[in-house]
Structures are given as C-alpha cells and as structure tokens.
Chains A and B, each alone.
Chain A
Amino acid sequence: DAKTTQPNSMESNEEEPVHLPCNHSTISGTDYIHWYRQLPSQGPEYVIHGLTSNVNNRMASLAIAEDRKSSTLILHRATLRDAAVYYCILSGAGGTSYGKLTFGQGTILTVHP
C-alpha cells in the first residue's frame, strides 16, 4: 500500500482557517485520498475523500495537487470541536482491497480559543 506522510502536530486559533498537509508521493492512479478524524474518546469519523479533483463538503475542503503526490485538508474556520487527530489515508480500488484503510499516525490538531 502507498504510504502517506503528515506532520505530527499542528496548532490553530479558533475561527481561523487550517491547512493540514499530506504527502503521498507513491500514490497509484486508482488510489483514493481519504481523510478521517478522531475526536477524543471516539471512533474515527469520515471527513472527505477525492480522487483527482478538489472536493468540498459541509465539513471541509480537499485540495489535491495536479500530480496527486500531495493533498491538503482545509478547515475553513476552525472551532474547538475540530481539535482531533486527522488521518490522511490512501485506499486502492477493486480486487480484494474491499476499501481497506491503513491508518498512519495522523496529525494532532490543537485549536486555541
């Protein structure tokens, strides 16, 4: 499986935008880029995913580099409730992958009031 690299931690102030980077230089053409987050004492929750084009949803935006070797999760206005561990994950398509996810260490996001 292709691997991802994320900073161990990042900090932000409340109501400011947050850009969480992820490098995935060995991504294959069929790998989707997923972002999940895990709030304290909870299971991970899906944030967003994409393949080639930038994506927006109610939680966040995903900006994917043209060569797909990196991506950025954008939280437009951080709140205290966004403090979590954010995971960037690649998932291959088809065959026996069954959408398996391989979680790395993620980025611990701290949001200051």
Chain B
Amino acid sequence: DVKVTQSSRYLVKRTGEKVFLECVQDMDHENMFWYRQDPGLGLRLIYFSYDVKMKEKGDIPEGYSVSREKKERFSLILESASTNQTSMYLCASSLFGGRASNEQFFGPGTRLTVL
C-alpha cells in the first residue's frame, strides 16, 4: 500500500517562527501536493511539485514556500508563521505527471496552531 506520512499530527508554534512541515511518500511518486483545509473553505492547493527541484504555485501560495530535494520528500515552509496560517495541512502524492486519471494518496494531516 502507498503510504504518505507527515512529520507531526499536531504542532503549536508562535507568530514569527519559521515552520517546516515534512511529507514523505514511499511509492516513488512523481507528483506531490500540499493543501490546507479550513472550515467552510474546504481543501485549497498551496503548492505542488511534479519532479525533484520542480515546483508550481497552487491557488494560495502566499506566505509559503516549498522544497523538494529528494523524490520522496516534499517540505512546506512557513517563513514567518502568522495566526491566519493556523489550519490543517494535508500532503498528497500521485504517480505520473500530466495524467488526469491519477489517484492522489493523502497523508493524515498536520494540525498547526500559530499563537
């Protein structure tokens, strides 16, 4: 079975801190995605990556950056955390680039609270 793991289930940080959220997949998938989920707003795509060192902005990239140095790992970085970044963060991966039929596999999520 494909497994997508996220470094923490719960995280509490202070305003202004630099925050790293890590995601690892074990099935050699090319595509990886970061979403955030908020009540009433659903899941929104922050960034995605279709290859090592390649990244594309999603719908809400402001305040975030990403890093993909290895195929299996995709990191989401909050350079200076703010309270409006308190959210559930979900990572996903899928097999090939450019194929609309690709199933996305999601991790369990990281609930981040910024105080």
Interface, chain A (partner B; CB < 8 A): 30-32, 36, 42-46, 49, 51, 91-106
Contacts and interface: CB of A to CB of B under 8 A. Distances in A.
B100 A94 contact: yes
Contacts of B31: 98-99
B104 A46 contact: yes
B97 A44 contact: no
Given A30-B100, A106-B42, A98 B48 contact: yes
For the residues of A in contact with B, the DSSP-based class is loop
A94 B96 CA distance: 10
17 contacts: A43-B4, A43-B106, A44-B90, A44-B104, A44-B106, A91-B100, A93-B99, A94-B100, A96-B98, A98-B97, A99-B94, A99-B97, A99-B102, A99-B104, A100-B48, A103-B43, A105-B42
Given A32-B101, A97-B98, A43 B109 contact: yes
Contacts of B100: 30-32, 91-94, 97, 99
Contacts of A91: 100-101
Interface of B: 4, 31, 33, 35, 42-45, 48, 50, 56, 58-59, 90, 92, 94, 96-109
B108 A42 contact: yes
B68 to A, nearest CB: 13
A22 to B, nearest CB: 15
Most buried by A among B4, B44, B106: B106
B37 to A, nearest CB: 8
B98 A98 contact: yes
Given A98-B48, A98-B50, A105-B42, A43 B90 contact: yes
A101 B59 CA distance: 11
Contacts of B90: 43-44
B74 to A, nearest CB: 13
Most buried by A among B58, B102, B109: B102
A51 B92 contact: no
Contact of B105 (A46, A95, A96, A100): A46
